[in-house]
Every structure is written in structure tokens, then in C-alpha cells.
Amino acid sequence: MNEQRKLFSALSHGAIFFSSLLVSIGIPIAILLINNDPVVKANALESLNFHINLYIYGAIFGLLVFIGIGIPLLILLGIASFVLPIIAIVKVLSNPDQPYRYPFLLRIF
């Protein structure tokens, strides 16, 4: 059970590294629907929230490009979208009994 929890939790957070938008959001949704483990469900929801937040921040920062401050913000967002899921994967693999929570997220779900 613990290995399955690690696998599904890490897969939820690592889905962002898949190139397709539908796949990167579809994996956490599928895990959320098929798995009954509350920790795995919490990780899948957190991953979904992270994806949605990235798109919201990306749209806002994209609009800010026109006033000159958007490019550095988009660069920081790109770095965060790479580094934070790696941190999440390491955390859920090292402590599979506790869901990972990303910092600075608007919790939509």
C-alpha cells in the first residue's frame, strides 16, 4: 500500500513534466477518480491546484509583458514550475503519509 501511495503521489506531482496539457492535467484527475487513498487524493488535488495556478499566473504575467515587468516574472514562473514539482516528488517519496502542499497557491479545489 505504501509503495502504491508513493507511486501515485509522485506521479500526480510529476505529471507537469509531460508535454501535453491534457496529459499533465489528466493524470492527476485520473488518479483522483480511481484511487481511494486520502493522501493520494490530497496530492492529486494539490497537483491540480498547482497546474491551474501556473496557468493563471502565466496569463497575468503574460499581460504584464506589455508594461515591462512580465518577462522576469515569466522566467521566475518557469523556474518555479520546474523546481517545485521536483521538491514535491522528493517530499512525497520521503514522507508518503503526509500530502505535500505547494507554497503560494490559491487553493481552488
| 7 domain-assigned | yes
The answer to whether position 50 is within a domain reads yes
Structural domain including 68 reads 2-93
What's the CA dihedral at 64, 70, 73, 75 to 10 degrees? 140
Kindly state whether residue 77 falls inside one of the protein's structural domains.
yes
Identify whether 104 is part of a domain.
Answer: no
Does a structural domain hold residue 109? Answer: no
Does 103 map to a domain? no
Is 101 part of a structural domain of the chain?
no
CA 46 – CA 91 distance, rounded (Å): 13
Torsion-angle region of residue 20: left (phi > 0), alpha (psi -120 to 50) or beta?
Answer: beta
- Domain total of the chain: 1
> What's the pLDDT at 77?
93
Can you give the pLDDT at residue 104? 83
Q: Is 108 contained in some domain?
A: no
pTM of the model: 0.89
Please, what are the averages of pLDDT over each run of 10 residues along the chain (109 residues)?
88 86 86 94 94 92 90 93 95 94 86
